[in-house]
């Protein structure tokens, strides 16, 4: 694909990460097909929009999607994590991927499927070492379990020679447009509300104790990793899991406090435990990204402040 325009299908292309990926692939000179049930303003000559509810699509519609668009790369940025039931997560994160694999394996030439996974597929880690791709997978949330089912489907199909597929396991992504329902998305929404009307919005942002230590990665670094996975030789990445994160864990409360400080607004974090709640064991997740360095030539280049400043750049705080 070097030296010629690729056709890239981004599933869930109007979502948080999908929107960033569409812009990045266009900047690479690729022709992008944005697939979403939500309409998108597509005015670039090298982009096309396909309206399709992927969860409601039958096998014939999925086959037609890929036959008509004839992609070299398919990035699955679709899925569900916030404000949905466990059954909805299973449908959006696991069953959809099974249907995609069936449709892709029937194509005369098989495009690369880049499945965007999650650090939550691993479960709880420790401060001592990063979570590595060959380590144990013991997700503790419905979201993590549904994403792990999807990852294993991709890996099994690739191992059987039926798919050119790679799983990128993402840390917690930070950047403009991060969705509400997430910790930083809700914090960002509170900041926007306060900036618009300080008199009607509390200057205290109240959460339960934010003791969990998490790996936070800049969305621009995530995009760079996806582009690298799209370029990598099949023999290097197909059938592999590759972690994408900062490689360090930060207490969630510290991240929120830093975001508030960078905003310049007089909003402060209050961590208020529920009555009778005791101290919990530290829940720590950080990714070992050495495989990404080795196989993709990728490593995180932005620090936490850069990621949080990027998130703030997408808000209306004036």
* DSSP H/E element including 221: helix 219-231
CB atoms within 10 A of CB 163: 25
Is residue 167 within 8 Å of 151, Cβ to Cβ? yes
Q: Are 113 and 154 in contact (CB under 8 A)?
A: yes
How many degrees, rounded to 5, is the angle at CA 64 between CA 63 and CA 70?
A: 90
What is the CB neighbour count within 10 angstroms for residue 200? 8
Exposed/middle/buried for residue 122 (C-beta within 10 Å: 0-12, 13-18, 19+): buried
Half-sphere exposure of residue 108: CA atoms within 13 angstroms, side-chain side: 3
Identify any residues that bridge with 241 across adjacent strands, giving them in sequence order: 167
Residue in 199, 171, 194 with CA at minimum distance from that of residue 259:
194
3-class DSSP state of 80: coil
Q: Is 143 considered catalytic here? A: yes
Active-site annotation holder among 122, 143, 194, 216: 143
Task: Please give the span between the terminal C-alpha atoms of the chain, in angstroms, as a whole number.
Answer: 44
d(CA 308, CA 318): 17
Antiparallel, parallel or unpaired: β 204-207 and 31-36: unpaired
How many whole angstroms separate alpha carbon 186 and alpha carbon 182?
6
Catalytic positions: 143
């Amino acid at each position: 694909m070097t030296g010629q325009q690729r056709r890239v299908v981004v599933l869930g292309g109007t979502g948080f990460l999908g929107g960033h990926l569409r812009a990045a692939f266009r900047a690479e000179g690729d022709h992008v097909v944005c697939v979403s049930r939500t309409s998108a303003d597509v005015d670039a000559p090298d982009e096309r929009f396909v309206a399709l509810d992927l969860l409601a699509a039958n096998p014939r519609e999925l086959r037609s999607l890929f036959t008509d668009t004839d992609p070299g790369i398919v990035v699955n940025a679709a899925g569900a994590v916030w404000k949905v039931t466990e059954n909805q997560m299973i449908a959006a994160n696991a069953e959809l991927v099974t249907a995609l694999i069936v449709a892709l394996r029937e194509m005369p030439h098989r495009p690369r499927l880049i499945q965007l996974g999650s650090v939550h597929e691993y479960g709880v880690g420790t401060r001592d070492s990063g979570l590595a791709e060959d380590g144990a997978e013991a997700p503790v949330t419905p979201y993590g379990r549904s994403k792990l089912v999807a990852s294993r489907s991709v890996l099994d199909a690739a191992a059987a020679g039926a798919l050119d597929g790679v799983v990128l396991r993402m840390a917690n992504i930070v950047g403009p447009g991060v969705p509400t329902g997430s910790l930083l998305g809700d914090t960002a929404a509170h900041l926007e509300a306060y900036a618009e009307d300080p008199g009607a919005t509390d200057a205290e942002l109240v959460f339960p104790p934010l003791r969990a230590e998490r790996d936070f990665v800049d969305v621009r670094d995530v995009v760079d990793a996806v582009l690298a996975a799209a370029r990598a030789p099949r023999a290097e990445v197909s059938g592999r899991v590759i972690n994408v994160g900062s490689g360090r864990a930060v207490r969630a409360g510290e991240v929120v406090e830093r975001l508030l400080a960078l905003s310049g607004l007089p909003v402060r974090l209050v961590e208020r435990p529920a009555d009778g709640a005791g101290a919990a064991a530290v829940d720590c997740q950080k990714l070992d990204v050495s495989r990404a360095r080795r196989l993709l030539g990728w490593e995180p280049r932005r620090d936490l402040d850069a990621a949080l400043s990027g998130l703030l750049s997408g808000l209306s705080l004036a």
